[in-house]
Amino acid sequence: MLSAKFFKKIGMKTFVLCFVFACCSFSGWAQNNDSMMVKKIVDEVLINGHSYNNLRKLCKDVGQRLSGSENFLKAVQLTSKMMKDAGADTVYLQECSIPHWVRGEKEKGEITFKNGKKYQLHLTALGNSVGTPQQGISSAKIIEVKSLSDIPKMANELKGNIVFLNIPMNPTYINTFRAYGESASSRTRGPSLAAKYGAIGALVRTLGVNINDIPHTGVTRYNDSFPKIPAVAISTNDAEILSKELKNNQVKSVWFFSGCKILPNVIGYNVVGEIRGSEFPKEIITVGGHLDSWDLAEGANDDGSGVVQSIEVLQTFKSLGIHPKRTIRAVLFADEEMTGGGSDAYLSNAITNKEHHIFGLESDAGGFSPRAFGFDASDEKMKTIEGWKPLFYPYGVYEFYRGGGGADIGPLKKIGATVAGLMPDSQRYFDIHHATTDVFENVSERELKLGAGVMAALIYLVSEYGI
């Protein structure tokens, strides 16, 4: 460790620099006040915040919260109570229709090599996938696909065989979400597209950057015009092995079984907690994350962190006795992972009730150290927003970029809201995404709280000044 004396020196210097920077960039009393309020808010979360303890409860008392599961309903109850405890004026549930997919009997699979040896695959059924027959499915020809655009040219080979969608995430992208964005269609659309051309099952390379044995699930979507084929993710390491052995012509056959089923939709709920605005109660600011998770772990970062951070925003206003001028709603959305049923319900309610939504902020990129906010805003609104940027620099948020909101909050743009997203450091996200590793122990208390703190500060500014 670098010496204490040294850090005392540079720490102070950095702090003074940041403080001077934050102060100089503004003029006037109001903006100095903003700087002090932002500090007060972030300090409150770092010292007294409830988000980390709430996340522990959500992960350990409930655990996985798969859409349509009993656990999802338990999470609705628990987080409703958390909203009340946080001091929301009103807490209510918003009904919606959500999918009910069940994993069933544990999946398994293996490669048989031409020398007779077998290799047990590390695999997990994809969400929304159909299962295989009880005896599983197998094929002697495994058709490796490196790009979805190749599929239509491979109709002859695909027919009657298992497709192997081997589209790695690009490790050189520093924003790992960009790499995910480029490769995720292998999972979401790949199996159905291969089915169109006759494939009978799909092995999909896990969407993770590192090479290891942990398979990641996630939704696959069927086009109703084509047969629904069973689809599983295999680990990145297995994908490397399979690809190499196919190239070496050493693979005799691949077999896999999955026991999952798609059941009829059920009723789910968004959990909504509100602090009514004191001056402009009809101007609504939403802050949210999604309550559902995959079933392999606790959904600690996807999106337990967004859930507890959103509740923390309400908590912070109440703890500091801030009466927001505009109405603030924390919303825990149902069913982000499969069909967006919760987000649809929230939007359609807003339309039906002619609500005036001015701003929405989503946290669904993990509870890691915050680095940026993304905004989907008009040029003029972006000018106001840019003026706030120096307030966040001392807390490690150094970038305000164009483009924001996410799957749940993004749709509020349709009714005129400016939408935004918290963008934390993305290096670890795809280590835990949709995998057994997404547990409470992989969340850092300070990172989570720092994210909640800057979220609360941004919501404060919008509640104070509008947008």
- CB closer to a second copy out of 15 and 92: 15
For the segment 66-125, give every residue that binds a second copy (CB under 8 A): none
For a second copy, the binding residue among 112, 185, 349, 436 (CB under 8 A) is: 185
Beta bridge partners of 356: 283
15 binds a second copy (CB under 8 A): yes
What's the CA gap between 199 and 158, in Å, rounded?
Answer: 5
CA distances from 97 to 213, 264, 265, 389 (A): 35, 10, 6, 39
Rounded to 5°, angle at Cα 344 from 290 and 460? 55
For a second copy, the binding residue among 199, 406, 452, 462 (CB under 8 A) is: 406
For a second copy, the binding residue among 27, 172, 225, 353 (CB under 8 A) is: 172
* DSSP H helical ranges for 279-360: 305-319, 341-352
Rounded to 5°, angle at Cα 183 from 181 and 186? 125
Q: Any idea what DSSP says for residue 292?
A: -
Q: Which residues of 234-244 are buried (b: 16+ CB within 10 A; e: fewer)?
A: bbbbbbebbbe
Q: Which residues are catalytic?
A: 336
24 binds a second copy (CB under 8 A): no
For the segment 374-393, give every residue that binds a second copy (CB under 8 A): 374
213 binds a second copy (CB under 8 A): no
Give min distance, CB of 181 to a second copy, in A.
3
Per-residue tokens: 426: 């993305």
| Backbone torsion region of residue 116, taken as left when φ is above 0, otherwise alpha when ψ lies between -120 and 50, otherwise beta | left
**Binding-residue pattern over the window 310 to 339 for a second copy, x denoting contact by CB under 8 A:** --------------------------xx--
What's the CA gap between 419 and 99, in Å, rounded?
Answer: 26
- CB closer to a second copy out of 83 and 193: 193
Give min distance, CB of 280 to a second copy, in A.
29
Asked if 290 and 136 touch (Cβ cutoff 8 Å), the reply is: no
CA distances from 80 to 12, 86, 90 (A): 42, 10, 10
For a second copy, the binding residue among 120, 210, 223, 248 (CB under 8 A) is: 210
Give min distance, CB of 9 to a second copy, in A.
6
**Binding-residue pattern over the window 337 to 366 for a second copy, x denoting contact by CB under 8 A:** x------------------------x-xx-
Stretch of 90-98, 109-117, 351-359, 403-411 contacting a second copy, by CB under 8 A = 403-411
For the segment 225-254, give every residue that binds a second copy (CB under 8 A): none
- CB closer to a second copy out of 265 and 444: 444
Tell me which H or E stretch contains 381.
Answer: helix 379-392
What's the CA gap between 364 and 288, in Å, rounded?
Answer: 8
What's the CA gap between 404 and 141, in Å, rounded?
Answer: 43
- CB closer to a second copy out of 238 and 431: 431
395 binds a second copy (CB under 8 A): yes
Give min distance, CB of 346 to a second copy, in A.
16
| Proportion of the chain in helix, strand, coil states, percent, rounded to 5 | 40, 25, 35
20 binds a second copy (CB under 8 A): no
- CB closer to a second copy out of 215 and 277: 215
177 binds a second copy (CB under 8 A): yes
DSSP letters for 386-417: HHHHHHHGGGT--EEEE----TTTGGGGGGT-
For the segment 430-459, give every residue that binds a second copy (CB under 8 A): 431, 433-434, 444-447, 450
- CB closer to a second copy out of 12 and 30: 12
For a second copy, the binding residue among 14, 77, 90, 348 (CB under 8 A) is: 14
Whether cis (ω within 30° of 0) applies to the bond prior to 302 is: no
For a second copy, the binding residue among 68, 127, 342, 405 (CB under 8 A) is: 405
394 binds a second copy (CB under 8 A): yes
Sheet containing strand 326-333, edge to edge, reads: 90-102, 261-275, 326-333, 280-290, 356-362, 418-424, 370-376, 399-402
295 binds a second copy (CB under 8 A): no
- Nearest 10 degrees: CA dihedral of 402, 408, 414, 417? -60
For a second copy, the binding residue among 33, 36, 43, 378 (CB under 8 A) is: 43
For a second copy, the binding residue among 85, 110, 157, 182 (CB under 8 A) is: 182
Asked if 448 and 305 touch (Cβ cutoff 8 Å), the reply is: yes
- CB closer to a second copy out of 109 and 404: 404
25 binds a second copy (CB under 8 A): no
For a second copy, the binding residue among 37, 46, 148, 241 (CB under 8 A) is: 46
Give min distance, CB of 279 to a second copy, in A.
30
Contacts with a second copy by CB under 8 A: the residue count is 74
Single out the residue of 289, 322, 266, 325 nearest to residue 466, CA to CA. Answer: 325
180 binds a second copy (CB under 8 A): yes
Give min distance, CB of 89 to a second copy, in A.
29
174 binds a second copy (CB under 8 A): yes
